[in-house]
Amino acid sequence: MRYGGVDGTLAVKGLDMHVEKGEFVAVVGPSGCGKSTLMKLVTGLHIPQGGVVMVAGEQVTKPVSIVGMAFQNPTMLPWRTTLDNVLLPLEIVEKHRHRLRAHKAEYVAQAEALLATVGLKGFGDKFPWQLSGGMQQRANLCRALIHQPELLMLDEPFGALDAFTREELWQVIRDLHAAQGVTIMLVTHDLREAVFLADRIFVMSARPGRVVAEHKITFQRPRDISLMYETAFNEKVHELRGEIAEARVTA
């Protein structure tokens, strides 16, 4: 995938990975290596000049509808309330669009339940600009989940959150994955987050990004936050850290 024509920026090249249905994978790598690009390729927001992307057995040629996305910067529409922002995907995904009008109350209840899960109970009628950055990010996560996607793409969705809220949301995501069997792809700079949540971690090289290492994370599920204080956990984090440090200098 190259941005800006033939002389433009080569973002990723020879990037090869396979994710199983129901798997939870994390993608880590140096800043600017093409992680967000990968997320946009998988969701069909960009189409690569070479190679193919397959989702659920079909080649991606346009934005994928079974996907829920929460990207790096919260992208809530300022003229809609938080609740209406959360409901937005339902107006777009065909399956739900038809049901939305007849069953509005049911969907509103679902949205409110999601907001409550992330600690935003009672904030549905506020506009995004009335929320803090972290609150917007949490609402963004609810929006990614409202249509019960089969594939959840998370690009640093916890970036602007304090450590405690982060850990709370890790547990929300962990439980959601366990309960619904959704496939999750998470981009993160937080290696503890990756090791705590993922079944498998891909390490990417510096730009043009490709996979340089793959780690199977075998800690038993359900994982408890206390896992992060265990030696084996910290050794894994340390190993990943070393690989990324190396990836930064050798493109």
Q: Say what the alpha-carbon torsion angle 71, 72, 73, 74 is, to the nearest 10 degrees.
A: 40
| 153 versus 182: smaller Cβ distance to Mg ion | 153
Among ligand ATP, Mg ion, none, the one that 4 touches (CB under a kind-dependent 5 to 8 A) is ligand ATP
- Told to check if 36 binds Mg ion by CB under 5 A, we report yes
Kindly state the number of chain residues that form the binding site for Mg ion, as judged by CB under 5 A: 2
Residues 89 to 128 in contact with ligand ATP, rule: CB under 6 A: none
Question: Taking the complex as a whole, how short is the minimal distance between the CB of residue 200 and Mg ion, in angstroms?
Answer: 20
SS3 112: helix
Question: What are the angstrom distances between the C-alpha of 89 and each of 9, 146, 154, 166?
Answer: 31, 7, 16, 24
- Told to check if 34 binds ligand ATP by CB under 6 A, we report yes
Q: Do the Cβ atoms of 219 and 227 come closer than 8 Å?
A: yes
| 15 versus 93: smaller Cβ distance to ligand ATP | 15
CA dist 29 and 216 (Å) reads 16
Give the 3-state secondary structure of 205-218: CCCCECEEEEEECC
Question: Taking the complex as a whole, how short is the minimal distance between the CB of residue 29 and ligand ATP, in angstroms?
Answer: 6
**Residue 29: partners with Cβ closer than 8 Å, 6 or more residues away:** 35, 203, 204, 205, 206, 209, 244, 247
Residues 36 to 75 in contact with ligand ATP, rule: CB under 6 A: 36-37, 72
Among ligand ATP, Mg ion, none, the one that 34 touches (CB under a kind-dependent 5 to 8 A) is ligand ATP
Cis peptide before 30 (omega within 30 of 0): no
Residues 219 to 248 in contact with ligand ATP, rule: CB under 6 A: none
Contacting residues toward Mg ion, per CB under 5 A? 35-36
Contacting residues toward ligand ATP, per CB under 6 A? 3-4, 9, 11, 31-37, 72, 207
